[in-house]
Structure 1
Amino acid sequence: MATLSTNSQNTKDTAGGSSDTASTSYNAYAEMNAEQEFFLYELETTDSGSIGLVLRAIYDTGDVHKFARALEQRIAHYDKNILKVCTYHYQGFIDSMNQLKNLQTKCANIKDIAEKIDDNIQERSKELVKKGTEIVRYRKLQRNANTAIEQITMCLPILENYAKLQDLMKQKKYYQALKVLEELEHTYGSHINKYRFTQSLAKSMTPIRDEIRKNSYAELRIFLEDVAKIWQRIGEDATKATAIQTGFYKSSEKKDSDMDSRKFVTKEDIQLSKDGSILKRASKNPEGLEKKKTDYPETSMSATDNIDFAPIHRCCQIFSVLGEKDAFENYYRGEREKQTLTVITPPTKLQESITSSISYLDRIVGFFVVEDHIMNSQPGLVTNAYKDHLWDLALQQITATMNAHFGNCLDVEMMIKMKKVILLFALTMKSYGYGISSLYSLLQNFRDQYNEILMSEYCAQFEKALKEDNYTQITVKNEDEYKSVLAEYPHYKRFLDKEEYPRKFPFSRFVPTVFNQAKSYLRGCLRFMENLQLSQSEVDDTVRRYANVLLARWSGSLKLFVSDKSRSLIQLVQITINMGYLERSCEFLERYITELTNRGEGSHLVTLKDQVFRDARSEVEQLIDEKLREKVDDFLELAAYDWELPQASGVASDYIADLIKFLNTTFTAFTQLPSVLARHVCMQTCKYLADQMHNMLLSSDVKAVSTGVLEQFSLDVMQCEMFTAQCPVPGFDDATLSMTFAHLRQLLELVMNSDWTTYLAERGQNNSKYSRVKASNAAILLEKIIELEKKNSSFFSRSGDRKKLYDTILRQLKTLT
């Protein structure tokens, strides 16, 4: 150890002695130049990335061997310096090693002491460690217990809500159960999946949604089925309420003039009659009549107040929570559409009674009243578009049903009842916001059908009156009968009320009968249009239009009636008179319609056509002409002229006397005809008689005519001329009627007086004496005279000049012809 210390000291000294040398600057190699010195400096100081550049520069100078020797010299120099430094610090290293050895000994002693102390502590701390271990165990148990309590506390709401969920499901409170289920899933969802028992609860909750969904659908179906059972009662209540509110009311007793009394009629006090009107229902409790009716307002309850719509609301809420609102709406609408098809399907015995129709429509009203209520309470479930879709389906079926069952109805009273039923149905549906334009179109069709049936009935009555009338003027014997006729037909004639009894009306019983039929028909037309929401002008014009159609059909019936050849002249004359008064009755009917419709006087779009009988009247007038001509022909057939009569009898022929008597009687009856018609018929008859006598005289069947028969014929014509001069038909100008026989008179005078010179001389002049005689007719008659004289050959043998004269005149007449 001493030797080591001595060596260390020597080394230290040596190192210390040469420390100055190591710290001195490096002495350059004798052969080393500045450039090599620079390269060595660059290698020592530069980074490794630039070494390549330095080496490149060394190789570029070409002094590589010199630089290598310089580098070796520099390395040797650095090795020498390192050795000096190591030698300098070696003694300190030796001292340190000695100190460590001393420290090792002390540490071994300390370790022994520490082990003894440790053994002593270990022995003494065993009980303490045992107690500490127990403390740790108990603290762990306590911590676990607290954790368990905390977790169980967190699970208690789950168990409580699950129990509540089970109770709600048993009570069928599905919406509340669904809300509890939603709370379990969303609020406690994170805790449910931690434990096995909660996981089993979660599995048991999974089918609850399906059960709620299934039970909700079932509840909806049950509700719809239950409501379907009372559709008719709902419809009845709604219809009754509408009838009271709109005044569509008819009491079985005398109506109370005080309209406020209707406000106290409750739905229990009214019922719907078979004809669709509202009747008061007799109270079963006599004491009830004494109660104050002020406690029962008219609109105290609606038709749906007694219906519990809670199932609908619950289902809407449940399916909203389930997130299946659209599916529920589609299901509901599908079920309601099925029910729509069911309720609008008419019963098979609908046409047998009006009651079945009322029940059918009441069920439809009940269905749509319920639908309207659901739409108002659940707007998302039932929309206006969907409600209108169902109503359109119903309207199509109702229209088709009504047309099918009542389109061919021929009973007027049944049509009135159906009109009331359909109208009340339409008003009820309108009060709930449903469109009823097609129902008004249906009523319009029924109105046309009703009026067609009514018109057919009155046409039949008109034809019956035509057949049963006696066609004689009405004769009244006292004041009561006189007023009775005036009450039936407003006839006015100046001074008629001053005449003595019996008095005569110009028309027959047919006129007042038909006039009252027309008024009854107008009342029937108006009866159907009551409460049809038509303006007074529409009602007035419609009644007038139907009245015109009725008059036109009556005119057709008249034409058909008079076309029968068996009608007598008296009947035709009286029919013409009656038709004149029927035309006048149009003015009275105009005023009557105005009174019925309360429109008042003024302009009307439709007026009664009094000229509707014009064609029938013209036909009757023509038939009167024909009948008179037939009578004239009948009398003329009685004429038995001896055309070779040597001398006239001095008096008119019997047939002429009878004919004149008949014409006097007939034309006297014409005083009640219109003066123009009477004059026309008289003129045409006289012309016809004159023409027929003229044709008789010039007939080809008559070969020869004597002067005696001409004189007799002249006497007959004279009787006709006297008749025309004293004709009972007033209004003719002087000699106007007598001019009808002028051509016959001039022909007779020309031939009988042989005034041929004057005829030929004045031929073609306006003031000619024989201006109405045709040369051809004169020639024919002259030939007949010549023919008779030829038979009497002695006449021409004694008077040859006369024969030449006749031949000359005849040639001149033929020349003129």
Structure 2
Amino acid sequence: MTPFLESHQTFFAQIAGFFIVEDRILRTGGGLVTRADVESLWETAVAKMVSVLEDQFSRMMTASHLLLIKDYVSLLGVTLRRYGYAVDPLLDVLSKHRDKYHDLLLNDCRKQISEALAADKFEQMLMKKEYEYSMNVLSFQIQTSDIVPAFPFVAPFSSTVPDCCRIVRSFIEDSVSFMSYGGQLDFYAVVKKYLDRLLVEALDSSLVRLVKSQSLGVSQAMQVAANMVVFERACDFFFRHAAQLSGIPLRIAERSRRDFPLKKSRDAVEELLISLLRNKIDDFMLLTDSINWMADDPPQSGNEYSNEVLIYLETLVSTAQQILPVQVLVRIVRGILSHISDKIVGMFLSDSLKRFNGNAVIGIDTDLKLFESFAEDQSQIFGEPDDSELKMALIEARQLVNLLMSNHPENFLNPVIRERSYNKLDYKKVVSISEKFRDSSDRLFGTFGTRGAKPNPKKKSLDALIKRLKDVS
């Protein structure tokens, strides 16, 4: 008459007690009961328990309730198996509801993760005492050094990291707890499968939703990106923890490791951060409207926009170094420099630009040299083995400017030279931009040469280039 959750202990305890007594009578009663009688009675009892469990499990919608019932069923099974009773039908019910239990557990964890993300201000955590460091860092083995830091300690991550680590660790422990019944020894593969689902379907998906919610500014996105690096170390801990609780050697767990399960959110937040920073760069690029594309003399120290962008980049990197790990910062800076390169090429392609001369190209070349110098400096600061890696992000703009400054632009048609010096340039872009190029006498390189003027070798070369490229396209 009482709810099963409240009465199940008494229900199973009375059945266990009854059959322990029956076993005692069978062994000491001098034939008072027969083995066939006891086994028949046990089969009836098992059928009834299976029916009750199937009914109750089908209606339960709380993971902790299923786990509570499972613990007592498991205890009943272990106890009566010692007396020779067949308990497999009861354990089969637990196996049958394994997926339901983990689905409910996943839903609970998904809600907790969403709450943790909603509560986070995405600022670096401050820990004032050693116990806080132990609870938030050492507990999940996400420290970068074995040396305990001085306090107060500013962590490289925000509160989301330890909060979500606690949720995942609890999930692992609850999963192992549910799977450890009936003397099972090899259930790590099952626990790992559900752990993968938690990390991908709950944590990764929640982080992706956060990133796509458009609620993050530059500093917050930067902190989330920094969090992802710490989560990568935490994931190593999760799989080791699952292996240890499942009783298997760590080397076996390591062999079965998959790629970083939070890859989608890691990529998404870096894309968001680069996008936000590109928008900032675009604001500075509005200053390109003031460029004199038919200047009588090239600008001595580059155009105004380049100096403003450079100041912003240097300030940004100085701030980001306090939050972002080097490997992330390199990817972010590379993305920004690539965008600057695209914007420079885009200026030449723009419909609003009708013509430009060599002095304007020299000015853009000076701008590019400033950006390239910045890229080289950052590569040295970041300790990049190849100091040209960041500089390569500017390669399309550099090749275009080199082509426009070349005395023999027709060399672009030579496959060997093109592959070596202009391999990032698109044929159609080269045609469109080259047709706007005028020499210092304001003559278009192409069909509008002034009759009787001294032939310009560069004009002839570029004119031939345009003609040949048009024929190819």
Give the corresponding residue for 1:771: 421
| 1:770 Cα deviation after fit | 9.6
Q: Which moved more, 1:602-611 or 1:393-402?
A: 602-611
Residue by residue, what CA displacement relative to the aligned partner does 1:21-45 show, whole Å, maximum 9, x if unpaired?
Answer: xxxxxxxxxxxxxxxxxxxxxxxxx
Give the corresponding residue for 1:664: 314
Among 64, 68, 73, the alignment partner of 1:417 is 68
Give the corresponding residue for 1:510: 160
Tell me, in whole angstroms, the C-alpha distance in 2 between the residues paired with 1:694 and 1:417: 65
| Change in CA separation of 1:393 and 1:688 when aligned onto 2, cut-off 3 Å | same
Give the corresponding residue for 2:384: 731
Give the corresponding residue for 2:195: 547
Tell me, in whole angstroms, the C-alpha distance in 1 between the residues paired with 2:7 and 2:391: 77
Give the corresponding residue for 1:575: 224
Residue by residue, what CA displacement relative to the aligned partner does 1:96-137 show, whole Å, maximum 9, x if unpaired?
Answer: xxxxxxxxxxxxxxxxxxxxxxxxxxxxxxxxxxxxxxxxxx
| 1:438 Cα deviation after fit | 0.8
Identity of aligned residues (%): 22
Tell me, in whole angstroms, the C-alpha distance in 2 between the residues paired with 1:722 and 1:673: 22
Tell me, in whole angstroms, the C-alpha distance in 1 between the residues paired with 2:33 and 2:141: 66
Give the corresponding residue for 2:110: 459
| 1:556 Cα deviation after fit | 3.1
Question: For residue 461 of structure 1, what is the amino acid of its counterpart?
Answer: Q
Tell me, in whole angstroms, the C-alpha distance in 2 between the residues paired with 1:448 and 1:579: 29
| Change in CA separation of 1:738 and 1:599 when aligned onto 2, cut-off 3 Å | closer
Give the corresponding residue for 1:636: 285
Tell me, in whole angstroms, the C-alpha distance in 2 between the residues paired with 1:431 and 1:776: 82
Tell me, in whole angstroms, the C-alpha distance in 2 between the residues paired with 1:811 and 1:645: 20
Tell me, in whole angstroms, the C-alpha distance in 2 between the residues paired with 1:774 and 1:580: 37
| 1:760 Cα deviation after fit | 3.7
CA contact (8 A) 1:545 1:606 kept: no
Give the corresponding residue for 2:397: 744
| Change in CA separation of 1:659 and 1:404 when aligned onto 2, cut-off 3 Å | farther
If the length of structure 1 is used for normalisation, what is the TM-score?
A: 0.48
| 1:790 Cα deviation after fit | 6.4
Residue by residue, what CA displacement relative to the aligned partner does 1:522-551 show, whole Å, maximum 9, x if unpaired?
Answer: 333344456x3425x435555444433322
Tell me, in whole angstroms, the C-alpha distance in 1 between the residues paired with 2:428 and 2:16: 91
Residue by residue, what CA displacement relative to the aligned partner does 1:267-290 show, whole Å, maximum 9, x if unpaired?
Answer: xxxxxxxxxxxxxxxxxxxxxxxx
| 1:694 Cα deviation after fit | 1.0
| Change in CA separation of 1:402 and 1:800 when aligned onto 2, cut-off 3 Å | same
CA contact (8 A) 2:410 2:462 kept: no
**SS in structure 2 opposite 1:801?**
coil
Give the alignment of 1:79-158 within 5 angstroms.
none
| 1:439 Cα deviation after fit | 0.7
CA contact (8 A) 1:649 1:712 kept: yes
Tell me, in whole angstroms, the C-alpha distance in 2 between the residues paired with 1:713 and 1:613: 41
CA contact (8 A) 1:429 1:436 kept: yes
| Change in CA separation of 1:539 and 1:422 when aligned onto 2, cut-off 3 Å | same
Tell me, in whole angstroms, the C-alpha distance in 2 between the residues paired with 1:706 and 1:813: 17
Give the corresponding residue for 2:57: 406
Give the corresponding residue for 2:93: 442
| 1:501 Cα deviation after fit | 6.1
Mark the structure with the bigger radius of gyration. 1
Tell me, in whole angstroms, the C-alpha distance in 2 between the residues paired with 1:702 and 1:486: 56
Are positions 1:811 and 2:459 aligned together?
A: no
CA contact (8 A) 1:541 1:604 kept: no
Give the corresponding residue for 2:348: 697
**SS in structure 1 opposite 2:85?**
coil
| Change in CA separation of 1:652 and 1:497 when aligned onto 2, cut-off 3 Å | farther
CA contact (8 A) 1:705 1:784 kept: yes
Give the alignment of 1:302-381 within 5 angstroms.
349-350=1-2, 352-361=3-12
CA contact (8 A) 1:765 1:771 kept: no
CA contact (8 A) 1:419 1:446 kept: no
Question: For residue 406 of structure 1, what is the amino acid of its counterpart?
Answer: F
**SS in structure 2 opposite 1:401?**
helix
Give the alignment of 1:582-593 within 5 angstroms.
582-593=231-242
Residue by residue, what CA displacement relative to the aligned partner does 1:488-531 show, whole Å, maximum 9, x if unpaired?
Answer: 44344459657x7654332222222222333333333344456x
| 1:640 Cα deviation after fit | 1.5
| Change in CA separation of 1:633 and 1:600 when aligned onto 2, cut-off 3 Å | same
Give the alignment of 1:187-202 within 5 angstroms.
none
Which structure ranks higher in relative contact order (CA pairs < 8 Å, sequence separation ≥ 6)? 2
Tell me, in whole angstroms, the C-alpha distance in 1 between the residues paired with 2:255 and 2:53: 31
Give the alignment of 1:143-182 within 5 angstroms.
none
Tell me, in whole angstroms, the C-alpha distance in 2 between the residues paired with 1:481 and 1:382: 63
Tell me, in whole angstroms, the C-alpha distance in 2 between the residues paired with 1:762 and 1:718: 22
| 1:703 Cα deviation after fit | 1.3
Residue by residue, what CA displacement relative to the aligned partner does 1:52-101 show, whole Å, maximum 9, x if unpaired?
Answer: xxxxxxxxxxxxxxxxxxxxxxxxxxxxxxxxxxxxxxxxxxxxxxxxxx
Tell me, in whole angstroms, the C-alpha distance in 1 between the residues paired with 2:121 and 2:260: 25
Residue by residue, what CA displacement relative to the aligned partner does 1:580-636 show, whole Å, maximum 9, x if unpaired?
Answer: 222222333455446545666664598554632234434444444444444444443
| 1:433 Cα deviation after fit | 4.1
Among 309, 333, 338, the alignment partner of 1:687 is 338
Tell me, in whole angstroms, the C-alpha distance in 2 between the residues paired with 1:412 and 1:472: 33
CA contact (8 A) 1:675 1:731 kept: no
Give the alignment of 1:57-76 within 5 angstroms.
none
| 1:801 Cα deviation after fit | 0.7
Among 429, 436, 461, the alignment partner of 1:784 is 436
| 1:731 Cα deviation after fit | 0.4
Tell me, in whole angstroms, the C-alpha distance in 2 between the residues paired with 1:392 and 1:357: 19
| Change in CA separation of 1:420 and 1:739 when aligned onto 2, cut-off 3 Å | closer
| Change in CA separation of 1:814 and 1:588 when aligned onto 2, cut-off 3 Å | closer
| Change in CA separation of 1:434 and 1:583 when aligned onto 2, cut-off 3 Å | same
CA contact (8 A) 1:583 1:610 kept: no
Residue by residue, what CA displacement relative to the aligned partner does 1:626-667 show, whole Å, maximum 9, x if unpaired?
Answer: 444444444434532355554555444444333333333444
Stretches of structure 2 lacking an aligned partner (at least 5 in a row): none
Tell me, in whole angstroms, the C-alpha distance in 2 between the residues paired with 1:596 and 1:811: 74
| Change in CA separation of 1:453 and 1:764 when aligned onto 2, cut-off 3 Å | same
Give the corresponding residue for 1:611: 260
Question: For residue 206 of structure 2, what is the amino acid of its counterpart?
Answer: S
CA contact (8 A) 1:775 1:816 kept: no
**When you count helix as a share of all residues, which structure comes out higher?**
1
Give the corresponding residue for 1:75: none
CA contact (8 A) 1:583 1:611 kept: yes
Tell me, in whole angstroms, the C-alpha distance in 1 between the residues paired with 2:160 and 2:257: 20
Give the corresponding residue for 1:525: 175
| Change in CA separation of 1:374 and 1:735 when aligned onto 2, cut-off 3 Å | closer
| 1:399 Cα deviation after fit | 1.8
If the length of structure 2 is used for normalisation, what is the TM-score?
A: 0.77
| 1:437 Cα deviation after fit | 0.6
| 1:804 Cα deviation after fit | 7.6
**SS in structure 2 opposite 1:660?**
helix
Question: For residue 386 of structure 2, what is the amino acid of its counterpart?
Answer: D
